[in-house]
Amino acid sequence: MSDLTTTRDAVRTVLAAHGSLRTDPWRMAPTDDLYAAGLTSMASVHVLLAVEAALGIEFPERALDRALFSSIDSLATTAATCLRDTEPLRMSA
């Protein structure tokens, strides 16, 4: 399983728990519009915090805009980039 697939699955799990969507995120295509599925600005804050906690990342401030929450792929791609960018910071045993 690719890193993007794993990250996409994490995003779907978070959306199911915190997105308050009218559509099950596990049944949505990765590019489906989350706003059309019912994502609100308040729910997007909960999703943001939950994705950061689930993946141990922090989205950069420059990424925090409406487009970030437009689709599962947008969230997953940005989160995967954050994971990749923080990888060198992790200490190996």
End-to-end CA distance of the chain: give it in Å, rounded: 24
pLDDT tens digits, one per residue of 37-56 = 999 999 999 999 999 999 99
Name the burial class of residue 72, with classes exposed (0-12), middle (13-18) and buried (19+) by CB atoms within 10 angstroms of its CB: buried
Interval 4-22: pLDDT, tens: 899 999 999 999 999 999 9
| Level-2 CATH architecture, domain 3-83 | Orthogonal Bundle (1.10)
